[in-house]
Structure 1
Amino acid sequence: MFETISYDVHNHVAWIKMNRPDKLNAFTAAMNHEVAKAVKQATKDEEVRCLVITGEGRAFCSGQDLSSVDEGTDYGDVLRDNYGPMVRAIDACEKPIIAALNGVTAGAGLSLALACDFRLAKEDVKLIQAFIHVGLIPDAGNMYYLPKLIGHAKALELAVLGEKVSAAEAKELGLLTKVVSADEFDEEVNAFAARLAAMPTKAIGLIKRSLKAGWNEDFDTYLEREAQGQRIAGMTEDHREGVGAFMEKRKPQFTGK
């Protein structure tokens, strides 16, 4: 089904792995489209309650494959046709998405990670806003997400200076959810994904929806959206299970419905 990525579903978790290790998983148009397709597939699959995006080999993603562009390339069209659909698919997914940063995370690879909900990284991972080094601006939604995570001034610093950021520093800045040793990385990612997959999936989606709305709506409009969201959450099977478990003093068994 896919040529540049692999896609598997295990225990309610969809695993999307970029699979061009010889090119440090650099993006081509085909890979942009396949990541978007896989995210949409996982979004629609009722069995999937969490997504993990990671890379094969020693890189998460090194950004755009520059060998696939030339002097005549219209980068605006590249974004509209390739990157836009990919990050829109991620933005539209109301299931939790983990970026598992197994190695080099640069350029549009960093943009992809920023678009996800959680970022787990190996302790030796370096993150870099590489765009400035080729005379370009951060793209694929990068500067939409970055200042929301770390603030305007620091986002500008990373974008303009283009310096490597260690995993430890990225964690301090708020870019990463967890930093994990290489030996424990796979186990930790699996455990974190399993934890999210066992949670009330619809409630998570409504939380993501509310957070996005909070950046763009006035307070009264937001409060009405919040009330509507809570109404929806209150009608889920998971809400009933949560209340029942609380009353019966047991651990809830959520089904994502």
Structure 2
Amino acid sequence: MTEPVLLEDLSEGVLRLTLNRPDRLNAFTPELHAGLRAAIDRAAGNEAVRAVLLTGAGRGFCAGQDLGQRHPDATGGAPDLGETIGTLWNPLVRAIRALPKPVICAVNGVAAGAGANLAIACDIVIAGESARFIQSFAKLGLVPDSGGTWTLTRALGEARAKALALTGQPLPASQAADWGLIWRAVPDAALMEEAGALAASLAKGPTHGYGLTKQAIQAAGGQDLDASLDLERELQREAGFSPDYAEGVRAFTEKREPIFTGRAQ
């Protein structure tokens, strides 16, 4: 029986999604694109999902697009990579960014090309110490995609973004953490335990408030302070009417841990 290319497990509010093509370093095919995109879309409307944990099976997180299906010799001519980006990668990145729930990425081993940029599109990235982030596009005469030029430049600045993109040199997980590209680098053996604990903690939190926080932070890079102040006001108004805010205040006054439902109303 053929293994599914994406493993899904929902337990105690955490939807664990595992890219499952370990023999190909979890490189993406149209089937894997469709499966992951559908899982993210379902998570958006499923109240039982309070946090998403994305990782890869085997010795690497993701090697990006499966080039075997985009090789000119296999397609009978130069493939339209813009169509691949526009119909597969860009919608996936947008879906992750728009998901009103925390998305944690646990990077095991190599994350290369679009696989690296998929990882850093997530909300919180934890990587094993042996993990490496590689902008491998230059080795193929290509341009970083899947949000890579946007995310790298904003996280690292133009100088480091250009150097990583033009040289294709691997960025070790510890250095990625030091530079602020990811949240933490942890011992390989502790990666899934740490990522799972974080996801479980977030799954018990105020999910609606987390979604509003994502919206505000993601908007901040493209607007001035006045616009951010106005957006914060409107989002805080919405959060203030949520049952989680009322529960948070009750728990604070009663000196106990809050029990959040994650709902907007």
TM-score (norm 2): 0.93
Equivalent of 1:97 in 86, 103, 113? 103
Distance (whole Å) between structure 2 residues aligned to residue 30 and residue 142 of structure 1: 23
Partner of 1:221: 227
Q: RMSD value over aligned CA atoms? A: 1.3
Which digits, 9 at most, give the CA deviation of each residue in 1:196-252, with x for residues without a partner? 111111111111111122222343333222111001100111101110111111121
Distance (whole Å) between structure 2 residues aligned to residue 244 and residue 146 of structure 1: 41
Paired residue type of 2:178: E
Paired residue type of 1:256: G
In the alignment, structure 2 segments of 5+ residues that lack a partner are 73-77
Percent of aligned pairs sharing the same letter: 41
Partner of 1:61: 62
Aligned length: 256
Partner of 1:157: 163
| Distance apart, 1:182 and its partner CA | 2.0
| Distance apart, 1:114 and its partner CA | 1.2
Paired residue type of 1:16: L
Distance (whole Å) between structure 2 residues aligned to residue 175 and residue 224 of structure 1: 28
Matched, 1:208 2:214: yes
Match runs of 1:77-116 below 5 Å: 77-116=83-122
Matched, 1:16 2:13: no
Matched, 1:234 2:240: yes
Matched, 1:38 2:44: no
Which digits, 9 at most, give the CA deviation of each residue in 1:61-81, with x for residues without a partner? 011111001322011111111
Paired residue type of 1:228: E
CA contact (8 A) 1:8 1:15 kept: yes
| Distance apart, 1:176 and its partner CA | 1.8
Distance (whole Å) between structure 2 residues aligned to residue 177 and residue 148 of structure 1: 15
Partner of 1:143: 149
In the alignment, structure 1 segments of 5+ residues that lack a partner are none
Q: Secondary structure at the match of 1:254?
A: coil
Which digits, 9 at most, give the CA deviation of each residue in 1:154-178, with x for residues without a partner? 1111111110111111111112211
Paired residue type of 2:160: K
Matched, 1:26 2:27: yes
TM-score (norm 1): 0.96
Paired residue type of 1:64: Q
Paired residue type of 1:50: A
